[in-house]
Structure 1
Amino acid sequence: MAKELIFKSLRHEKTSDIPWVPFAGVHAGKIVGYTAEEVLTDEDKLVEAILAANKFYIPDGLPVLFDLQVEAEILGCDLLWAKNNPPSVKSHPLEGENKSIPCNCKIPTRESGRLPVILSAMRRIKAEIGSEVALYGLICGPFTLASHLRGSDIFMDMINDPAYVKDLVNFCSQVAVQMSEMYIEAGMDVIAVVDPLVSQVSPKHIERMLSEGFKAVFDYIRNQGAYSCFFVCGNATKQIEVMCQMGPDGISVDENVNLAKAKEITDRYNISIGGNIPLTTTMLHGTQEDNMKGVIDLLDSIADHHNLIISPGCDMPYDTPIENTVACAEAVKHPEKARQLIENYQVVVDDIHVELPDYASLDKVLIELFLLDPEQCAACTYMLAAVEDAYNDMKDIAEYRVYKYFIKEDIARTRKMGIANLPTMCINGEQKYISIIPNKQELIAEVKKYVK
């Protein structure tokens, strides 16, 4: 049975095959012709979309919903909705001087926000395919949820008021526990704690301010008899070990992380690891052969396939071609057949010509933001917000540009700049902040160093 592959992997048992989990998210809506907003707000459309994703992609595990703003909306954040992406947070009830906890924030109940729709959809999907497929309930991790409430101020708080950050994260961990309880009750087998911003924090800060809250969530999930997975985005290489120490059953990373090297760490803790098919260059813009080769190359880079789950690096882009995901599924489930199909195949890089600025002759300091997607990637959102928050104080001496890694020209520019990890902030062509979000004062001080 497909779901047993997931369970065995998360129990750290040997498996006959490698489990496959497509993070279809809002892309599931694309399969059946619905917008992201429709599948995230309409129960019937969500159920139809997830059942279609199950039919096309033959998964061993499947998320029911990939939306990290469900809790934020309940706790008072305003959302900006989009047709092709999950919503983004556009207001922060605890920003500025309003630091009280929980302020107007209340622990979610089964009647809060969109939860009645989500929980009912989960129960229906469980009844339809839950006997065969391991269902993932995705919740917003405590630190990312804290950043939704506090905004980019939280990065300055980590320096000036770490006790407040720890209290806020612990409150958000209570929210995560409550969400876990409701999702497990609705039939979810695996609770994925999705916290993109963990990659933006040093291991030392994680241990001081975040670990206690995260451990409480993973302990609760285990005590309820469910499995847990810790999702992180960005270059989390330095954070993998401290993530393991929080006690999840599995960890999932994106293409910024070398999966083989990360697995050496997770293996020491006997924790499963999942990932990390590239989302845009391969799944969105590649061919079927590119996707098969990507999976095979990934498998070949890892000597021991024990404790391994193959999946996209994060929530799949809405417009990902169905045939590309089918190709990934085939390569995971039938690797030897895939090897024959791609024998002698070479990936062709679409090398679009782009002109880089003449940084030495610029009138103003140029800040360039190389992002995955500022509307979908939380780490990218807050890196952009850091620049926007500081811009009024430096607009006379600096300007900024945003490049998005799902646009072909921006992918080519990223390659030409030699940028290996996203999000990255460059100043006058130099990579200054790689998967790290600077606070306002730090950024302004750094920009001033470049003024002629």
Structure 2
Amino acid sequence: MRSLARVLGTLNFTDVDCAPVFLEHSGFVARLAGISLERYLTEADIMVAVKLEAVKKFRTDIMSLGLDSCVEAEALGSKVVFSNSAYPYISSSLITDWHQLDRLTVPDPWSSGRMPLILQAAKVIVEKDAGEHFIVGQVLGPVTIASQIYGIEKLIYLIVDDPEGFMELLKFTSQVTERYCEALGETGIHAIMLHDPSASPDVLSKGVFTSFIAPQLKAMFERIKKRQETYLWLQIIGNTTSVLHHMADFNLEMVTIDTAVKLPDAFHSLQNKVVVGNMNPMLFRNATFNQLASTLRQILEQRREFGYVMGTGCETPLDASEEKITYFLELIESIKCHG
């Protein structure tokens, strides 16, 4: 079974030859090839070559297209500091008061910052991959964009001191997310992943998620679905066990769970969603081969028959071991696709 058919079958909760595998390789593969992170994150042809080589080298079913957590903020006007040894970062907050939102304009993804780089790369990859793999584009969620342009510490104070201001900020950043989603949908990819790590209950608390974030995300997903036909995928890091029931109510198809979330809990709460996870990507840097084998056994004992993708909670670390990743994937092959 081809990778694309395997993932589409999983999305339909039908029988497939084996659970799809998703290891979120990005800058790790660029460094493996001796390419600087800055070139990988700023040149479309380099990104295309790295992504196609990664899926060929490691034989995973899903190809994820994303750069770093600064793309949306940069498109809004934030200054980004690049490094050849680490992912870039925002040097200072773009705004210091939410009332300054009137200075900002929702960026056009086809002409703002590095957004066009992703869109160009997505089009080329869709053409070159020729329907072999399930291709997903990454967009930052509204809470994380807000934390990038406002600063996470100030954002926490804003929630406490001026919750209405916090909601106004989220309304604006949701527009940024939605506009980028719309553009990505025009490239021919199969799905869009909204990566929103700052929305985690580990960062802003369960109460904040329930009262402020969940209603905003739910409304945003509804608007996206009305405008375009695409699979939607939500990825929030940390222990999201306490808010999985909110995610079950969102109009989307896939949810990533991080290592702190137990697979049985996720399957129970997300019966109507494809669950992706809950492997710790740091295993590919720190684990022994025996520990990798033990991790796979635990997953096989807990997985459900339909609607599950074996994957990591977030991206492969830059200093991961190629040997350990290869060993893990070969172990999967050796047991005939988890059978």
Give the TM-score, by structure 2 length.
Answer: 0.91
Q: Structure 1, residues 364-392: CA drift from partner, whole Å, max 9, x if none?
A: xxxxxxxxxxxxxxxxxxxxxxxxxxxxx
Matching residue of 1:352: none
CA 1:83/1:4 → structure 2, altered by over 3 Å: closer, same or farther?
A: same
1:386 is matched with none
Q: Using the TM superposition, give the Cα deviation of residue 66 of structure 1 relative to its aligned residue in structure 2, in angstroms.
A: 4.1
Look up the SS of the partner of 1:132 in the other structure. Answer: coil
Query: In structure 2, what residue type is equivalent to 1:3?
Result: L
- Measure, in 1, the Cα distance between the counterparts of 2:106 and 2:221: 21
The answer for unaligned runs of 5 or more in structure 1 is 340-452
Rg (Cα) greater in structure: 1
Contact 2:18 2:337 in 1 (8 A): no
Q: Quote the residue 1:256 is aligned against.
A: 260
Q: RMSD between aligned alpha carbons?
A: 2.1
The Cα shift of 1:94 comes to 1.9
Of 285-294 and 22-31, deviating more is 285-294
**Structure 2 counterparts to residues 147-158 of structure 1, below 5 A:** 147-151=147-151, 152-158=153-159
2:114 maps to which residue? 114
Alignment of 1:312-327 (within 5 A): 312-327=312-327
Q: Is the 8 A contact 1:68 1:194 kept in 2?
A: no
- 1:47: which partner in 2? 48
Distance in 2, matches of 1:86 and 1:220, equals 31
Give matches, 1:350-389, under 5 Å. none
State which drifts further: 321-330 or 107-116: 321-330
SS of match in other structure, 1:251: strand
Q: Could you say which residue in structure 1 is the equivalent of 2:180?
A: 179
Q: With CA pairs under 8 Å and 6+ residues apart, which has the higher RCO, 1 or 2? A: 2
Mapped to 2, the partners of 1:221 and 1:295 lie a distance apart of 36
1:219-251 Cα distance to aligned partner (Å, 9 max, x none): 344342210110011122212222222222111
Q: 1:109 to 1:313 in 2, by over 3 A?
A: closer
- 1:186-265 aligned at under 5 Å gives the runs 186-199=187-200, 200-223=203-226, 224-265=228-269
Write the deviation string for residues 16-51 of structure 1: whole angstroms up to 9, x where unpaired: 310111100211212321122221111121111111
C-alpha separation in 2, matches of 1:338 and 1:59: 14
1:81 correspondence with 2:78: no
The answer on 1:36 being equivalent to 2:40 is no
Looking at secondary structure, tell me which structure has more helix per residue. Answer: 2
Aligned residue type for 2:237: C
Tell me the secondary structure at the aligned position of residue 279 of structure 1.
coil
Residue of structure 1 equivalent to 2:138: 138
Change in 2 beyond 3 A, CA 1:164/1:234: same
Q: Which amino acid aligns with 2:142?
A: P
Residues 1:335 and 1:173: Cα distance change in structure 2 (over 3 Å): farther
Counterpart Cα distance in 2 of 1:206 and 1:229: 18
Aligned residue pair count: 334
Greater displacement, 135-144 / 66-75: 66-75
Q: Contact 2:237–2:314 (CA<8 Å) still a contact in 1?
A: yes
% of aligned pairs identical? 23
Change (3 A) 1:315 1:72: same
Determine which of 277, 280, 285 is the counterpart of 1:278.
Answer: 280
The 8 Å contact of residues 126 and 135 in structure 2, kept in 1 or not, is answered as: yes
Q: Secondary structure at the match of 1:99?
A: helix
